[in-house]
Amino acid sequence: MTNRRNFIKQLSAAAVNVTPNTLLSQTFSSKTTNTPVTSPGKKIWACLMHLSFNFAGGIKSWGGLRTEFEPDQSVWDIAIKRMADRGINMVLINLDDSVMWRSHPEISLKNSWTPEKLREELTKIRKLGIEPIPLLNFSTCHDAWLGKYSKMVSTKTYYNVCRNLIAEAIEIFDTPRFIHFGMDEENYNLQKHFDYIVIRQNELWWGDLYFYISEAMSRNVRPWVWSDYVWHHPDQFFKMMPKSVLQSNWYYGGILDPKHERVKAYVDLEREGYDQIPTGGFFARPRNNFIASDERNIGNTVEFCSKHTSDTHLLGFMQTFWMPTIERFRSPIIKAIDLIGDAKYKFENK
């Protein structure tokens, strides 16, 4: 870091009770985490489902901030069943403000799922052979779901709220193997049309990330993040990012050119010894349902990363579909699931 004293001060302010060296030296063994649905040595094949869509609350083209719980139960059920039919063994659930949080009901949307309802759904998911994983995106580009607390970032109040939400999510999911903290796209270009802009950087960004990490690891859950930071700050990333943090670099193009910074990141993460779940995407534009991504993406991502990532560090793959879980997007959501199902079949039968 540019100023170690300031960084230590930031960790103290965030109530991180470990040193940077301790976090950097920690490793994570699957033997110390909750028993996964997937068997040892078996690859993870994951999809990301949106219970909440307010990570996009600042994005006007997606309709801005939702105030009421949005997902259609029928679309949710059909998508989960399709995952099971296609051999998907993990689902990452974007929770955010769509749970009636006991610790902070003030951020919850009207008619949100109660913890009891969410637990019922998790039981159904597990019975289908799918491992559910929580996602709370704390990137300032995607934290509109935090309500008034999104304007209190890096304060004592903010840390207390985040700590409570992380603890409650882990409790509801019965100490899951992972918890995803997002942390993508925290930059000016992606917020310049927002009415309220917050960008952390340097010691502050790392200090807050270490806070989320320490909250997860103190509860025996492995932290997971998007790997965007490595695209623009590779030296700092490889110096400061703990190997205990699972990485999901992402790229949505049809052709994976290793010279592209986002594709090159898969190779760089492997070189530096990080565990990865490479991520593809298939989705429609919000206004007219026009398909905005390439059907070849997830298949080519699997092929590329299988060649450039060691079996030890390649934990699996994930498909994203950046669309709310509603009837309007039923078809492209199912298509996205089928695409990763096809990629899985090809990978396992090569």
More reliable by pLDDT, 154 or 15: 154
Summarize pLDDT for 63-95 with one digit per residue, the tens: 899 999 999 999 999 999 999 999 999 999 999
> Where are the chain's structural domains?
4-19+44-348
What radius of gyration, in Å, describes the C-alpha atoms of the chain? 19
Token pair listed for 63: 């309709």
What pLDDT does 31 receive?
42
At residue 251, what is the residue type? Y
Summarize pLDDT for 122-150 with one digit per residue, the tens: 999 999 999 999 999 999 999 999 999 99
Q: In what order do the strands lie in the sheet with 316-320?
A: 246-248, 222-226, 178-180, 131-135, 90-94, 44-50, 316-320, 279-281
Per DSSP, 251 falls in state: -
Summarize pLDDT for 17-42 with one digit per residue, the tens: 666 666 666 666 544 445 555 454 69
What pLDDT does 30 receive?
44
Q: What is the CATH number of domain 4-19+44-348?
A: 3.20.20.80
Polymer length of the chain: 350
Mean pLDDT for 223-230 is: 98
| Predicted structure pTM score | 0.93
Query: Which residues are CB-neighbours of 290 under 8 A, at least 6 positions away?
Result: 284
CA distance 264 to 70: 37
Other beta carbons within 10 Å of 164: 15
